Amino acid sequence: MKAYIRSTIAISPQKTFDNQMFLNELVAYNVNRLTSIEPDYSEAIDPKLIRRMSRIIKMSVATAKACLKEAEIANPDAIITGTAYGCLEDTGIFLTNMVEQDEEPVSPVAFVQSTHNTIGAQVALLVKCTRYNNTFVSGGFSFENALLDAMMFLTENNSANVLVGGMDEITDMSHIVLSRLGLYKPQPVSNLNLFNTNSKGTINGEGAAFFLLYNTSSPDNLACIDSVISFYKPRDLAEIQQHIDSFLVSQSMNHSDIDILILGKNGDVKNDGVYSRLQQSTFKGVASANYKHLCGEYPTSTAFAAWLGANIIKSNSIPDALDCQSISKSKISKVLIYNHYQNIYHSLILMSSC
Q: Does domain 223-352 have CATH number 3.40.718.10?
A: no
Instruction: Answer for the pair 61, 53: CB distance below 8 angstroms, yes or no.
Output: yes
β-pairing, 345-352 vs 334-341, is antiparallel
Amino acid at 161: N
**Helix or strand (DSSP H, E) at 190:** strand 189-190
d(CA 134, CA 164): 10
Contacts of 102 (CB under 8 A, 6+ apart): none
Contacts of 46 (CB under 8 A, 6+ apart): none
pLDDT tens digits, the chain, 354 residues: what are they?
Answer: 799 999 999 999 999 998 777 888 899 999 999 999 999 998 888 888 888 888 999 999 999 999 999 999 999 999 999 999 988 777 766 677 677 776 676 666 656 666 888 999 999 999 999 999 999 999 999 999 999 999 999 999 887 999 999 999 999 988 998 999 999 999 999 999 999 988 999 999 999 999 999 999 888 999 999 999 999 999 999 999 999 999 999 999 999 999 999 999 999 999 999 999 999 999 998 999 999 999 999 999 999 999 999 999 999 988 888 877 667 677 899 999 999 999 999 999 999 998
What does pTM read for this prediction?
Answer: 0.95
The domain ranges of the chain are 3-214, 223-352
User: Exposure string (b/e) for 149-180, b if CB count within 10 Å is 16 or more?
Assistant: bbbebbeeeeebbbbbbbbbbbbeebbeebbe
Q: Closest Cα to residue 34, out of 15, 13, 17, 16? A: 13
pLDDT of residue 94: 66
Task: Map residue 248 onto helix, strand or coil.
Answer: helix
pLDDT of residue 273: 95
Q: Does domain 3-214 have CATH number 3.40.47.10?
A: yes
